[in-house]
Amino acid sequence: MTVFHFFETTHVNTLDDHNRLTDDIDLTKDGENKGLVTLNHEDGLELIDVTCLGWRKENGPFPLNVLLQALEMGEETLLEDDYYDIYGDEEYIGEDDEETEAEASKPDVGSDPTPKD
């Protein structure tokens, strides 16, 4: 029986003011690249988009269950990985992050309306 393998590459595309995490999955059969699946996940959305899906006719048919397995694997990867967890933006405050009481009680120095002599 033919063995299928998947090779994933995850990278970020910066678009305007948000990020798109992309997962490229190479579908390989007998050690040769036979197809490609590209999935995207934009920050702030719970939706995965399939932006590329294909293989050459010369490569023959590709089993549906293997393709579905690749799509499921890519979805899991993209939903698990947060762009900022991977690439470490220290100024980012994620949706899960909340201000602590100490941070909230600090006065905002730049907004003091009292005139200084």
Each domain of the chain, given as residue ranges in start order, spans 4-87
Token reading at 21? 């995490």
Separation of alpha carbons 75 and 5, rounded Å? 17
| Per-residue confidence (pLDDT) for residue 35, from 0 to 100 | 86
Separation of alpha carbons 97 and 46, rounded Å? 18
Instruction: For the chain of 117 residues, list the mean pLDDT of each consecutive stretch of 10.
Output: 64 63 84 85 76 84 85 84 54 50 55 55
| Per-residue confidence (pLDDT) for residue 79, from 0 to 100 | 80
| Per-residue confidence (pLDDT) for residue 105, from 0 to 100 | 58
Residue 74 buriedness (CB in 10 A; 0-12 / 13-18 / 19+): buried
The distance from CA 66 to its chain's CA centroid, rounded to whole angstroms, is 21
